[in-house]
């Protein structure tokens, strides 16, 4: 089977590479010529564990191709996945311009039956818009070619994308015809053989499933942050509370960590888009509106603690930050809470020294020389008045506290991810604050 994947971002590149790994011939298409030139030379544009060697292996086996021109492969493939971005529009709704551009390109160039599958996260009703856009272009060409649309939302997590794609909890597929179902069953046969669940449903339900999943996960995070804030006020320990409730099988222990709020390229935009979808259909998602509000406030929690410690006198303070990416194992800085924190620190006259194992380049691209880029964790804390732990990378977990203490000007640690041991830090002479304890 031959397929095309349009968009070689986090989702498209991982999807294409994993399908190639399972023996499918894959054409990855992107309008970004630099990305494609690099990929052809085996240079991977994103940091994702295990991806690079899998790309190389499948390129060498001749199953994975890269091109900027969809027309090159459109009529060779049976299935086309669209995995282009759906960034938030100004009003919070999902911007479908890239998705519909792909549909129009398909309509302008297709010559035989094609199954057009949307992998991007798109609001309910988008498959219908895609169908209309393709049909409009076919009508302009006075052609009647049969095609199908389907929805196959992606649930992978950045940082564990390959594992998530190859061993999914489930694959959700929305179809409108038996032909589409048959093609998707063929494509996902290796998963079915390995006993992974492929759940077929109607297209609107598949589109909605992705938003509902992200909304549920974001709700758990904001819920726990709300609980954490109350824990601090009443003298409880959110880590104990997490263990206490997480052991209840009905609740489960995942996604219950208090911290400095969710970020990344999915949760913030998807929550906004779902709220918007509801509003434009005359309904209010009141829980999600609260989830967003809690999250916005939570991003400032370390700043508030720092400001309290120095009694509002932050001018000229030298602040070290460990971690920039919105979570470990990724270089994705989209909507990272660190950016909000840095803004506030700079606005208060602080000097900010940052270190992240993989996101320094992306941060430099976004922030230029407004912050200082440290060589490593120890370089970041030299003469620092406070250390802010922002992303829970493994390499931040067990530093030499005696070395850190010697280097810092003020032994103050604000832990935004609750990864350190209060006792250990206090024994080492630090003032230590975290979230919800
Ligand atoms: P991304 O921004 O990393 O990549 C999108 C790619 O599409 C870019 O390389 C861009 O150049 C390309 N593109 C745009 N228009 C194009 C066109 N007309 N033809 C060809 N290529 C085009 O995006 P992403 O993070 O991979 O996300 C893609 C979609 O998947 C989004 O809807 C997102 O919500 C969803 N999603 C993302 C994740 C994630 O963890 N990143 C997880 C699940 C779902």
What is the mean predicted confidence (pLDDT) over 260-265? 95
Q: What is the CATH number of domain 299-433?
A: 3.40.50.720
Strand order in the sheet with 114-118: 64-67, 25-29, 2-6, 79-82, 114-118, 147-151, 171-174, 198-201
Is the Cβ atom of 31 under 6 angstroms away from ligand 1?
yes
For the chain, give the mean pLDDT. 97
Express each pLDDT in 23-53 by its tens digit. 999 999 999 999 999 999 999 999 999 999 9
Ligand 1 centroid to residue 300 C-alpha, Å: 29
pLDDT of residue 154: 97
User: Going along 68-129, which residue ranges are E strands?
Assistant: 79-82, 114-118
Closest approach atom of ligand 1 to CA 332: 41
Is the Cβ atom of 68 under 6 angstroms away from ligand 1?
no
Closest approach atom of ligand 1 to CA 266: 34
Express each pLDDT in 183-237 by its tens digit. 999 999 999 999 999 999 999 999 999 999 999 999 999 999 999 999 999 999 9
Is the Cβ atom of 7 under 6 angstroms away from ligand 1?
yes
So what CATH class is 2-201?
alpha beta
Express each pLDDT in 360-373 by its tens digit. 999 999 999 999 99
What is the mean predicted confidence (pLDDT) over 327-348? 96
| Separation of alpha carbons 64 and 87, rounded Å | 27
Exposed e or buried b per residue across 32-59, where buried means at least 16 C-beta atoms within 10 angstroms of its C-beta? eeebbeebeeeebbbbbeebeebbeebb
Q: What is the CATH number of domain 211-297?
A: 3.40.50.720
pLDDT of residue 161: 96
pLDDT of residue 249: 97
pLDDT of residue 328: 95
What is the mean predicted confidence (pLDDT) over 171-185? 98
Every domain of the chain and the residues it spans: 2-201, 211-297, 299-433
* Residues, the chain: 437
* Contact status, residue 348 vs residue 307, Cβ threshold 8 Å: yes
- Whether 266 is a known active-site residue: answer yes
What is the mean predicted confidence (pLDDT) over 265-274? 96
Percent of the chain whose predicted confidence (pLDDT) is above 90: 97
Catalytic one among 28, 73, 231, 266?
Answer: 266
| Residue of 105, 118, 38, 44 lying closest to 74 (CA atoms) | 105
Q: What is the ipTM of this complex?
A: 0.99
Identical fold between 2-201 and 211-297: yes
pLDDT of residue 256: 98
């Amino acid at each position: 089977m031959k397929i095309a994947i349009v968009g070689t971002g986090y989702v498209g590149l991982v999807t294409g590479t994993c399908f190639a790994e399972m023996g499918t011939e894959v054409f990855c298409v992107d309008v970004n010529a630099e990305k494609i030139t690099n990929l052809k030379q085996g240079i991977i544009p994103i940091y994702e564990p295990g991806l690079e060697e899998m790309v190389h292996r499948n390129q060498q086996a001749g199953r994975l191709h890269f091109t900027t021109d969809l027309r090159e492969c459109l009529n060779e493939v049976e299935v086309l996945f669209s995995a282009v971005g759906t960034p938030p529009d100004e009003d919070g709704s999902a911007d479908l311009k890239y998705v519909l551009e792909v549909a129009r390109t398909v309509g302008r160039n297709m010559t035989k039956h094609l199954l057009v599958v949307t992998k991007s996260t798109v609001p309910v009703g988008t498959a219908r818009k895609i169908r209309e856009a393709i049909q409009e272009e076919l009508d302009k060409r006075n052609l009647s070619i049969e095609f199908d649309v389907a929805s196959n939302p992606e649930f992978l997590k950045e940082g564990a994308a390959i594992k998530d794609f190859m061993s999914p909890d489930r694959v959700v597929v929305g179809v409108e015809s038996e032909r589409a179902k048959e093609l998707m069953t063929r494509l996902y046969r290796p998963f079915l053989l390995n006993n992974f669940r492929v759940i077929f449903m109607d297209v609107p339900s598949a589109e909605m499933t992705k938003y509902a999943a992200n909304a549920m996960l974001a709700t758990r995070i904001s819920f726990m942050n709300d609980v954490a804030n109350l824990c601090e006020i009443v003298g409880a320990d959110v880590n104990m509370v997490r263990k206490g409730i997480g052991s209840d099988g009905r609740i489960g222990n995942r996604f219950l960590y208090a911290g400095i709020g969710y970020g990344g390229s999915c949760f913030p935009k998807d929550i906004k888009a779902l709220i918007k979808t509801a509003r434009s259909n005359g309904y209010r998602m009141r829980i999600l509106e609260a989830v967003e509000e809690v999250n916005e406030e939570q991003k400032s929690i370390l700043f508030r603690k720092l400001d309290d410690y120095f009694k509002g006198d932050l001018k000229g303070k030298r602040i070290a930050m460990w971690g920039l990416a919105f979570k470990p194992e990724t270089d994705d800085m989209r909507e990272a809470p660190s950016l909000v924190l840095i803004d506030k620190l700079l606005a208060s006259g602080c000097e900010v020294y940052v270190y992240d194992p993989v996101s320094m380049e992306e941060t430099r691209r976004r922030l230029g020389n407004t912050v200082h880029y440290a060589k490593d964790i120890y370089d970041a804390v030299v003469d620092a008045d406070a250390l802010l732990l922002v992303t829970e990378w493994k390499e931040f977990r067990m530093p030499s506290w005696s070395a850190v203490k010697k280097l810092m000007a003020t032994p103050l640690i604000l832990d935004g991810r609750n990864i350190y041991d209060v006792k250990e830090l206090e024994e080492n002479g630090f003032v230590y604050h975290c979230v919800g304890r």
